[in-house]
Chain A
């Protein structure tokens, strides 16, 4: 698709292939730095949600988009990360700097444990197995005294040394930095040997094994990595929302994450980021539109729940119908159109 012909492998693998990419990334970074000075608290909170979603979506894309292992239980790993951090900082008084990686690691270990039996499952059977796992984790959270079930658990603010992160603007810098770091790591994993093995397994696992890629090792690694990301996202979610209940990690969350990567574009890091921003943004956009219509049509407010779900689902359906390869597909098509203009190929 790309218009540029690469002459060396290192060119093809480069993180920042040309000056334009560097330029736009710098512009984006500069814009992000100034966001808290321009945007309102509410708008910043949307951006914060997006940052957390980006981490989770990138992790899920490593598993589904790159390795081809469909998981419908991503919310379970988010929940494990969130509850781990809640217990570690609340019950065991660990600092956030330790509880963040630890909650990721706990989620990763559980992810790898799930990954072992999942080696026998393929395609839809794997999807449904992970779906069942998600329900069981939710059930355990509801019925275990440690997690306080329905009452939920309160979580502290993020403490960095003696410094407490409290305002939306402070959260914005922490979350954006962390999510940028996660995206960078994912991008690097993808262009390493591990990433290439993942793709080989996705495209044809038997052939990959014949070529000397240990299937079991890499599949479990993919599960571990994806759960690690989910654990981090869950931990950040817990500290950001400061209150977690099992209901915030139900099947709809897993489905929203899948919607993010399918809509964004499977098997691309850029796609996960775009999808996460898009899917997190839509509900807020719908609320914004209905709020502005409220004065002229007061009867709308009672229907807002149905309205939100309906429009959201409809956007997902239509986007998939017209662009099954996701937002990245649109981006690539537009890019190809302009780089090859006036020719059509």
Chain B
């Protein structure tokens, strides 16, 4: 029974990781930029939802939707302001810009909301669902379900819709895609908006499971492990990577914590489990589970 509970809780954390990882993948797939500010965007989403629900007293669902919309707007804005200029410049500089943005965003959040710890009182707080004799929190079940729905929509978008296919084309070869009549800039903007929306969803769910605070942006870096696990260019991979990561973290935290070897204390395994898994995966499959091996031309 305990194992099953760990699995369910791990999966609900995994769903959040999957959402964050999908955000990475969407932006990476269409622009080639690894967005280090993903965790910060999630944090902003959670704070927006907190403000709407707890400060302005809006209903939870309204707050949720509004924060998603604002999140999308923020993503698009970031792309327009910062990354339209960076087209054709060294890619590494663009990635460093996202690192800088992460700092700017968290300092702005610090100005606006301060460094206290808040929580959102959602309709799911402290309610438990009894499935087959063990308790699953409403929040966890809700997180898993919503994430699954959202991820299915994203998969369909990328594989079936014209915009999704255009996005893939723009990533493959921006110049040719432009010649084929795809508006590459617009595609990039949509990708950023989507990535940041997904991040906002992840942030709000994360707030559901713990608190709203500035340091929640650290989950962004751990979610990178999920994206790597599945392969940076695969939405499907990111989802599975997130699930594996969440479960593995839960298992490690339960079974490894408190062990001691020769003066080495194992504790807080949750913080490094993601990275240990990441290294192991990179050793075995350098491009992740679903990542495509790139054929290189000289």
Contacts and interface: CB of A to CB of B under 8 A. Distances in A.
A255 B95 CA distance: 11
A144 B101 contact: no
B148 interface: no
Contacts of B102: 313
Interface stretch (A1-9, A130-138, A181-189, A225-233): A130-138
A314 to B, nearest CB: 5
A17 interface: no
A17 B231 CA distance: 47
B232 A145 contact: no
B289 to A, nearest CB: 13
Contacts of B110: 303, 305-306, 309-310
Nearest to B277: A132
A132 B100 contact: no
B103 A309 contact: yes
Interface string A33-49: 00000000000000000
Interface string A109-147: 000000001001110110111011101100110111110
A274 B241 CA distance: 40
A122 B228 CA distance: 13
B-side binding surface: helix, strand, loop or mixed?
Answer: helix
Interface residues of A, number: 47
A136 B276 contact: yes
B264 A132 contact: no
A314 B104 contact: yes
A131 B224 contact: yes
A82 to B, nearest CB: 19
Contacts of A121: 282, 286
A297 to B, nearest CB: 14
A312 B228 CA distance: 29
Nearest to A255: B99
B62 interface: no
B102 to A, nearest CB: 7
Interface in B99-150: 99-104, 106-108, 110-111
Among B92, B232, B266, B275, the most chain A Cβ lie within 10 Å of the Cβ of: B92
A324 B278 contact: no
Interface stretch (A18-26, A96-104, A202-210, A333-341): A202-210
B97 A204 contact: no
Interface string B161-189: 00000000000000000000000000000
Contacts of A144: 263-265
Contact of B96 (A120, A143, A305, A316): A316
Interface band, chain B: 35 or more
Interface in B270-298: 271-272, 274-276, 278-279, 282-283, 286-287, 296, 298
Interface stretch (A163-171, A236-244, A258-266): A258-266
Contacts of B278: 128-129, 132
Contacts of A131: 221, 224, 275
A136 B102 CA distance: 22
Contacts of B282: 117, 120-121, 125, 128-129, 132
B167 to A, nearest CB: 19
Nearest to B271: A139
B275 A136 contact: yes
A27 interface: no
Interface in A281-319: 303, 305-307, 309-310, 312-314, 316-317
Given A128-B228, A146-B263, A266 B101 contact: no
Given A207-B298, A310-B103, A317-B97, A133 B92 contact: no
A88 interface: no
B20 interface: no
Interface of A: 70, 117, 120-122, 124-125, 127-129, 131-133, 135-136, 139-140, 142-146, 204, 206-207, 210, 251, 255, 258-259, 262, 266, 303, 305-307, 309-310, 312-314, 316-317, 320-321, 324-325
Across chains A and B, which 6 residue pairs bring their CB atoms closest together, nearest first? Answer: A313-B103, A310-B107, A145-B263, A306-B110, A132-B275, A317-B100
Interface of B: 34, 82, 85-86, 89-90, 92-93, 96-97, 99-104, 106-108, 110-111, 221, 224-225, 228, 232, 263-268, 271-272, 274-276, 278-279, 282-283, 286-287, 296, 298
Given A143-B268, A324-B90, 16 more contacts: A117-B282, A121-B286, A125-B286, A128-B228, A131-B221, A132-B225, A135-B271, A140-B264, A251-B221, A258-B96, A306-B111, A309-B103, A310-B103, A310-B104, A314-B104, A316-B97
